[in-house]
Copies of this chain bind each other. A is one copy, B any other.
């Protein structure tokens, strides 16, 4: 049972709010942490973002997101978007920058795409290190292997970290993406202090949509108590970020969504 002071809200959960609205809205609900999206930051402007965070006393638990190393033209160079994401993460003092590795390429070469992801991440790590930004490598659920991310388990992410060997790299545990894994507890233990971010949302049954059908904790089948315990045993005591992609949630008043998230947080 996590303390409410650890609650952070990923901006996508209140998607229809711009950053001004989100910052004010979270503060109004007594929430002290926010996970920012790059496009929303750019829309508000980086200087205004910094002001808003200060004004509403918000800590930034993460920046979503950089990466996308796979596909044609990927060659271990750091893209302008990825450089900019590091700059944003540094400027707002984010706990970490989420790394999503990208989809399978048009050649359907899965091992090849995984090599590209490794090379891209290895090229980005020194820049992050220099900027003092922690990169949180996020395995996505295997149902997204083809169209979103070829990194799909914590063990796979940790193998990549082992190979790259940069102190700027850690892993993100996102309940929706990893809850099914028979190696979940073992992989979290293996990660140890490399767990640098913890995101939660629930797996609904039936699934309304493979990507945009995530639920508020308690509305689905995930056993958060066990997962939060396992994450806690690594020493991670930072923010717990609620990140919900769900068309139904997005159609509701964001204030009502935040009420529901706050009310359910005790089960996390």
Hey, which bits of chain A sit against chain B, CB under 8 A?
Answer: 104, 108-110, 114, 141-143, 145-147, 152-153, 155-156, 159, 179-183, 203, 205-207, 210, 220-223
State in angstroms the CA–CA spacing of A159 and B147 once bound together: 30
A181-B108 contact given A206-B147, A207-B210, CB 8 Å threshold: no
Nearest-CB residue, chain B, relative to A205: B146
A-side interface mostly: loop
Across the interface, which residues of B come within 8 angstroms of A210, CB to CB? 143, 207, 210
What is the CB-to-nearest-CB distance from A11 to chain B, in angstroms, rounded to a whole number? 25
What is the CB-to-nearest-CB distance from A95 to chain B, in angstroms, rounded to a whole number? 27
Selected from B108, B153, B206, B221, the residue in CB contact (under 8 A) with A104 is B221
- Whether A180 and B145, one on each chain, are in contact in the complex, defined by CB atoms closer than 8 angstroms, is yes
A143-B142 contact given A108-B223, A110-B223, A114-B182, CB 8 Å threshold: yes
- Whether A203 and B146, one on each chain, are in contact in the complex, defined by CB atoms closer than 8 angstroms, is yes
- Whether B182 and A108, one on each chain, are in contact in the complex, defined by CB atoms closer than 8 angstroms, is no
- Whether B147 and A180, one on each chain, are in contact in the complex, defined by CB atoms closer than 8 angstroms, is no
- Whether A142 and B180, one on each chain, are in contact in the complex, defined by CB atoms closer than 8 angstroms, is yes
- Whether B108 and A146, one on each chain, are in contact in the complex, defined by CB atoms closer than 8 angstroms, is no
Selected from B109, B152, B156, B182, the residue in CB contact (under 8 A) with A223 is B109
Most buried by B among A146, A207, A223: A146
State in angstroms the CA–CA spacing of A146 and B146 once bound together: 21
State in angstroms the CA–CA spacing of A220 and B147 once bound together: 12
Nearest-CB residue, chain B, relative to A178: B142
A221-B142 contact given A114-B182, A182-B156, CB 8 Å threshold: no
Nearest-CB residue, chain B, relative to A177: B142
State in angstroms the CA–CA spacing of A220 and B205 once bound together: 26
- Whether B143 and A143, one on each chain, are in contact in the complex, defined by CB atoms closer than 8 angstroms, is yes
Across the interface, which residues of B come within 8 angstroms of A221, CB to CB? 104, 108, 146
14 contacts between A and B (CB under 8 A): A110-B179, A110-B223, A114-B182, A141-B142, A142-B142, A142-B181, A143-B143, A145-B179, A145-B180, A147-B205, A147-B206, A152-B180, A153-B182, A210-B210
What is the CB-to-nearest-CB distance from A163 to chain B, in angstroms, rounded to a whole number? 13
State in angstroms the CA–CA spacing of A156 and B206 once bound together: 24
Across the interface, which residues of B come within 8 angstroms of A145, CB to CB? 179-180
State in angstroms the CA–CA spacing of A155 and B146 once bound together: 21
State in angstroms the CA–CA spacing of A223 and B153 once bound together: 20
